Amino acid sequence: MTDTITPPATAAPATERPRRARRPYLADRAGRGWVIGRTALLLAGAVLTLFPFYAMVVLSLKPTGPVTFPDSLLPWPFSTEAYDQVIGAKSVLRWMGNTLVYSVVSVVGVLLFASMAGYAFAKKRFPGKETMFWSFLAMLMVPYHVTMIPTFIIISELNGVDTYWGMIVPTLANAQAVFLMRQFIASLPDSLFEAARLDGCSEWRVYVSIVLPLIKPILATLGVFVFLWHWNDFLWPLIVGQSLDMRTLTTGIASLQQENVPLNMLLAGSVVAFVPIFMAYLIGQRYFQEGVSTTGIKG
């Protein structure tokens, strides 16, 4: 390659550091051009990515009025009227608490059950294992809306309507989570498990001392995704949480709005729902990125 040619070793004294040959002018210029082009491209990508978030915040802080480009994207005139209405509701803290309970408990439950099931499907031998696994996986093919009414009827028969457990329990059997766990655990060497058993470990001990520490990366990745799914969930919490006290943030804010919601109010609601999930993303950013690249699932 023309830009990496170095002079012969004999041409320089042994003590002198080999000098890099000057790049030919054109190649140098081309290199700089590439760097500038690449930076510009990345900057353009960053601006394009950030623009919707900027627009969401700026437009939510405007008084109700026509939206015209580019005037509406300037930070003035400034108004908090939309936020006053969205977070002015006296039950908003309760809704936030309900959302946290729904999201956090579901994350914990999904990770616990999915890791146990994933371990069993990946490393245990029992009759009908494959059939059971593929049947379980078939749940992924059934649209959520098809199972919604039967699930509600079961919860209703068990007196779970308008309760936390009624909201949470049906979401704990997550086929996608089990599948990911099973795939991850299957890649762990069998020798580890054999060695543990030879040392007299019980199944519970193997799960706690071998499986869980080794699957931390997938637990973290999946945890972030499950949290996102639950935080943004609307239909199931709406159907199960019938009273004002059982509303989540998404359903509670929606109940404050008229049929045709003004844009600034819609965006103020989005900002209120977005901030906590953005914080969660910042905390679990590394795992989220790893998750997207290794599992292909997206929030």
Partner 1 sequence: MSVRKSLSAVAVALVAALAATGCGGSGSGDSGKTTVTMWIYPVIVDEAKHRAHWDETVKAFQSANPNIEVKTEIFPWANRDQALATAIAGNKGPDVVYLIPDQLPKYARNIEPVDKYLEDAAKSDYHENVTKSVSIDGKMMGAPILTSAATPICNKKVFAAVGETTYPTSWNDLLTLAPKFKAKGYDIAAYPGDSKQTLNQTFYPLMWSAGGDVFSPDGTSVAFNSDAAKKALTFVKQLVDGGYVDKSLITNVPSIEQTRIGQNKVGCVWHVPVAEVEKLWGKENIQAVPHFTDVKQIGYGTVGSLSMLKGAKNKEAAGKWIAFATNAENTKKYDLASNFFSPRKSTGTLYAGDPVLSVQEQQVATSTVGPLHEKARDVQGVLFPEIQAALLGKKSVEQALDDAAKAAAPLLR
Q: Interface residues for partner 1 in 115-134 (CB under 8 A)?
A: none
Among 82, 180, 224, 239, binds partner 1 (CB under 8 A): 239
Is residue 256 involved in binding partner 1 (CB under 8 A)?
yes
The interface mask with partner 1, positions 1-20, x = CB under 8 A, is: --------------------
* Helical packing angle, 144-157 and 164-172, nearest 10°: 130
CB 184 within 8 A of CB 287: no
Among 238, 276, 277, 299, binds partner 1 (CB under 8 A): 238
Among 56, 89, 173, 292, binds partner 1 (CB under 8 A): 89
Q: For the CB of residue 227, give the shortest distance to partner 1 in the complex, in Å.
A: 14
Q: Interface residues for partner 1 in 91-110 (CB under 8 A)?
A: 101, 104-105, 108-109
Choose among 236, 191, 182: nearest CA to 210: 191
The window from 6-14, 15-23, 250-258, 290-298 that contacts partner 1 (CB under 8 A) reads 250-258
Collapsed DSSP state (helix, strand, coil) of residue 155: helix
Token output for 246: 């059982």
Q: Distance (Å, rounded) from C-alpha 120 to C-alpha 141? A: 22
CB nearer to partner 1: pick between 133 and 185: 185
Token output for 219: 């637990």
What phi and psi, each to the nearest 5 degrees, are found at residue 262? -60, 145
Q: How many CB atoms lie within 10 A of CB 62?
A: 22
The window from 21-29, 132-140, 222-230, 261-269 that contacts partner 1 (CB under 8 A) reads 261-269
